[in-house]
Chains A and B, each alone.
Chain A
Amino acid sequence: MNQTIQANPPEPRVLVETSRAVPLVTLSVTFTQGSVLDPEGLLGLTRLTGRLMRRTGGGLSADQIDTRIDTLGASLGVDVTHSAISFQGTCISRSIEGYVDVVKDVVAKASLSEHEFNKLKSESQAELLSMLDSDQSVARHWFRREMFADHPYGRPTGGTLVSVPKLQHGAAVEHAKRTIRRGNLLFAFAGDINPEQAQRFAADIAAVVPSGASPEVEIDEPRFVSGRQLVVVDKPDRTQTQILIGTRGSHPKDADHTALHVANTVFGGTFTSRLMHEVRSKRGWSYGASSHLAYDRRRQPLSILTFPKAEDAAPCIELQIQLLEQWCEAGITQTELDWAKNYLIRSHAFSVDTASKRVSQKLDEVLYDLPKGYHEEYLANVQAVTLEQANQAVAERISPKDLLIVVVCTEKLVGAQLQAIVPNLEHYKVIPFNGEVQTETKT
């Protein structure tokens, strides 16, 4: 039995997907404002506050809470995105009552102790430092920062090694008061639970969350990169590079979003896409090669990821630009369109094969301001895309003249080749992988 309950305000909004396949219940308690609420200069505050709540629920210590959760056969994490703070986890269904008590303590009765705040801050700094070991994480971090520049989407949700040490306990306490509000609450339950139980648990939790709503933050549409920009993130001893190429993408509210999604499936969305075929299958240059259209409340970029060895980085970028230009100029073929539609329609079964995936789709519709019925109508919308629509969407939305190219590599090995290979390059910038901008030149 699958059911969605959309209660009338001021009742909490509760999404439910029931399945008895395994004796597990997945629960998500989401507040519909995320790290865009970080005050100026205090990047990472929302995430730190969410994590502090997770560790001080019910006035307990972090150890006591973790012990309670583990004993129940459960998990509970905090996911902070630009658009939401979400406490989510899973429990063995026999423990659901105790689990809801823990969640209630976390979202509404956290002590936010200063002692734990200081520990958490130190831990967060250590995690940010560890992240520098992952080249792909470093590439993604700088890609977002450079792509969105001063827009809130360019701010790292976890903060930076500069911002996190400046965060103060008092600011976290105040931030929790502002953001953890009943008016922003959204519940999602999936698995071995019926709608009546879910409604009861949600009401139980909501009753102890302070009333009111968090301040509305109006987010402008991002202004995407203009011209071609190359950003080299310099890291010593790299035999390989991590390359992210991006340009303006779309939002599901755009009329041509589905058409662009189908066309992107041909370009870089599958193992047999054009990108994968040219970069990996024919040339063996990169283990992975894919393009991706993400969504949030406002438009996101189209991003293309490859990771060739240092010697192949320049020709690999050159090839990707050529492929992008061909895609925009000539579009895709009818055969490619038919193939992509078959793939998307048939593989959709794996987007809805568990209760937790189904409820996540419903949650996304609310969180990311998707068109009503976006997921329910997805198959029909894909089926309806024509060749003309797909190619028009690519031609109008994607601009190969306006590209951000972020490369994590050892600059002294490949920097000059990269600069030389990108036609009409307007800006070249080198950023040390563990710091701020080092040099900036205009070519």
Chain B
Amino acid sequence: MPQSPELDVDVTRESLLEQANLDAPEGGKIKFLERLPFGKALTVDRYQLANGLMLLLIEDHEAPVVAYHTWFNVGSRHEQVGKTGLSHLFEHLMFNESENLPAGEFDRKMEEAGAEVNASTWLDWTQYSSSLPKGQLLTAIPLEAERMAHLVLKPPQLNSEKEVVANERRFRVDDDVDGAVNELLWATAFTEHAYRWPTIGWMADIEGFTTEDCLGFYRTYYAPNNATLVVAGDIEPKVVLRAISQSYGPMPRAVLPLEDVRPEPPQTSERRISVEKPTQTEKLVLGYKSPAFGDFDYPALSLLGEVLAGGRASRLYRRLVRELELASEVRISVGPFRDPSLFELYVSAREGHTAEELLAVVEEELLRVREQPVAQEEMDRALARNELSLLASLETADGKASTLGFYETVLGQPTSAFERLAMERKVSSSDLRRVARRYLVDTQRTVVLVRVKDDDDDLEPNSSSDSDVEAA
């Protein structure tokens, strides 16, 4: 009697694990957790090492490349007042010296292997990504493990990296109107939750970090039981499992601190700020309190955002940019975060028009979605755009690893990108109206009106005197 295909898979996997675990360090014993479908053709295998490290493998032989990602469950939400930006600064420091590698050697070896290396930090997480030619994966695994467990921090390197990060902040925030206004929006919309400070940190905090701060952070959060590895692409699971078990197995678990994040109290009245910036035209930035990424309402609100400002056929683009010619740009995003965050709406005015004019039109359109049902055709369009966007993000091994790592870290469900799309397909017009009424209301919003700063004005940029909180 022929064996069922599923049984074949189980036998093969058992044999894989047996080989990987044969001489594995105690913490490196690997346990298979589950196999999950990922789109129509691929599957993801989820494993965990005895020391707590999560591991996601996706075998895809489309191109001779591999993406190797490390996702840490630590972001700016885990920081404290006075120490903001530490997660991000630390992301930079991870490219420095380690016990067995002099400064610069990590990058040099990775680049010699042909790797494209990058990293990013946001509110809930920090991730390190390497894309490698197929044959170079075994070069990367011990190097990644080395910096996860044996980083060396010295004052000269810390000082140089603080200067780099300060320059990054000037580039992304201080000399960038959109970056500066975005920072102001979040700092005003949140009063208690750690989402109120920027991931890059306040400049004074960046300048003040010591090696002790950084070492303490490293020992606390850079532990196998606070991380997920994602390996996607042209891999041989047998080889990968064994290499990961050997390289990461010796790392001990850490005792992770309880999160000290304070819930944001409900917002009961509008917050409005007027600010002058060296820009050419006025801007309007709105932040409505929105649900967490894992909330039942998130897919509906996300779809509503697409109906309102996703592409040139969207309602706000049509009215503000095309019909009324008041704006040059409109965009909406819904924060994909673990805790409730913001539904952000950004509009850039055309010359001679004011932020108030923009606001009046935005309010009309928001009233319309609160009062009248959205047509099925508009919803279908938004769904098609989201499907295109998801498929496009999965063209490369790196895109697949990013998607899996993000969903695993934020939701604990690595393959739920496709489930999200299915959930959005179930959203009805009534759902859109319900979430519009629930979230897109004036009392739960923060408004930033950006005025054009006169060139002759000698105010220091970003000084406290250039913004003015108005009572709503």
Q: Which A residues fall within an 8 A CB radius of B?
A: 19, 21-24, 62-63, 66-67, 69-75, 90-92, 119, 122-123, 126-127, 129-130, 132-135, 235-240, 270-272, 277, 280-287, 307-309, 339, 342-343, 345-350, 352-354, 356, 434
Contact = CB atoms under 8 A, between A and B. Distances in A.
B281 A130 contact: yes
B127 to A, nearest CB: 17
A132 B280 contact: yes
A349 B116 CA distance: 11
Contacts of B329: 130
Pick the 7 closest A-B CB pairs, nearest first: A346-B114, A284-B163, A73-B384, A126-B328, A66-B313, A353-B63, A347-B114
B136 A287 contact: no
Contacts of B395: 21-22, 24, 354, 356
A124 to B, nearest CB: 10
Interface stretch (B2-10, B74-82, B166-174): B166-174
Nearest to A352: B63
A185 B388 CA distance: 27
Given A126-B350, A235-B278, A343 B396 contact: no
A213 B393 CA distance: 38
Contact of B114 (A69, A284, A345): A345
Contacts of B382: 70
Contacts of B115: 346-347
Nearest to A269: B111
Given A63-B313, A346-B113, A349-B133, A73 B388 contact: yes
Nearest to B381: A70
A50 to B, nearest CB: 16
A275 B376 CA distance: 55
B107 A70 contact: no
B358 to A, nearest CB: 13
Contacts of B468: none
A135 B63 CA distance: 38
Q: Which of A67, A272, A282, A309 has the most CB of B within 10 A?
A: A272
B164 A71 contact: no
Given A70-B381, A284-B161, A349-B114, A23 B391 contact: yes
Given A343-B112, A346-B133, A240 B384 contact: no
B455 A236 contact: yes
Nearest to A136: B171
A133 B453 CA distance: 12
A240 to B, nearest CB: 4
B177 interface: yes
Given A133-B279, A271-B117, A353-B65, A283 B160 contact: yes
Contacts of A123: 321, 325, 328
Contact of B171 (A23, A74, A237, A240): A240
B116 A350 contact: yes
Contacts of A90: 388, 392
A281 B160 contact: yes
A343 B380 CA distance: 45
Contacts of B63: 349, 352-354
Contact of B351 (A129, A133, A283, A286): A129
A443 B160 CA distance: 35
Contacts of B112: 339, 342-343, 346
A285 B167 contact: yes
A70 B174 contact: no
Contacts of A75: 388
Nearest to B134: A349
A239 B173 CA distance: 11
A272 B115 CA distance: 12
Nearest to B313: A66
A71 B384 contact: yes
B381 A129 contact: no
Nearest to B95: A271
Contact of A130 (B134, B280, B325, B381): B280
A434 B280 CA distance: 9
Interface in B263-282: 278-281
B154 interface: no
A19 B61 CA distance: 12
A347 B325 CA distance: 46
Interface residues of B, number: 71
The residue in B103, B178, B312 that gathers the most chain A C-beta atoms within 10 A of its C-beta is: B312
A210 to B, nearest CB: 27
Residue picked from A122, A239, A277, most chain B C-beta under 10 Å: A239
A362 B453 CA distance: 48
Contacts of B384: 70-74, 92
Interface string B98-138: 00000110011001111111000000000000010110100
Given A19-B62, A63-B318, A240 B114 contact: no
A62 B321 CA distance: 12
B80 to A, nearest CB: 25
A240 B328 contact: no
A237 B278 contact: yes
Contact of B170 (A127, A239, A270): A239
A420 to B, nearest CB: 23
Contacts of A122: 325, 350
B322 interface: yes
Contacts of B35: none
A270 B21 CA distance: 38
29 contacts: A21-B62, A24-B395, A66-B312, A66-B313, A70-B311, A71-B381, A72-B384, A90-B388, A119-B322, A122-B325, A126-B351, A130-B281, A134-B176, A237-B175, A237-B453, A240-B171, A271-B117, A272-B108, A280-B164, A286-B167, A287-B168, A287-B171, A309-B166, A339-B108, A343-B112, A346-B136, A347-B114, A349-B63, A353-B62
B153 to A, nearest CB: 15
Interface string B196-230: 00000000000000000000000000000000000
A119 B317 CA distance: 13
A264 to B, nearest CB: 15
Contact of A307 (B171, B178, B350): B171
A95 to B, nearest CB: 8
Contact of A277 (B62, B104, B322): B104
A114 to B, nearest CB: 16
B64 interface: yes
B162 interface: yes
B116 A347 contact: yes
Specify which of A22, A119, A285 lies most central, judged by the most chain B CB atoms within 10 Å of its CB: A22
A38 B137 CA distance: 49
B259 interface: no
Nearest to B453: A237
A270 B118 CA distance: 12
A388 B97 CA distance: 33
Contacts of A135: 175-176
Given A24-B395, A63-B312, A339-B112, 18 more contacts: A23-B391, A69-B313, A70-B385, A119-B325, A122-B350, A129-B351, A130-B348, A133-B178, A135-B176, A236-B278, A240-B167, A271-B117, A272-B104, A284-B162, A309-B166, A339-B111, A342-B114, A348-B114
A98 to B, nearest CB: 11
B159 A284 contact: yes
A66 B311 contact: yes
Contacts of A349: 63-65, 114, 133-134
A91 B395 CA distance: 13
B472 interface: no
Given A23-B391, A345-B114, A353-B396, A240 B175 contact: yes
A236 B176 CA distance: 12
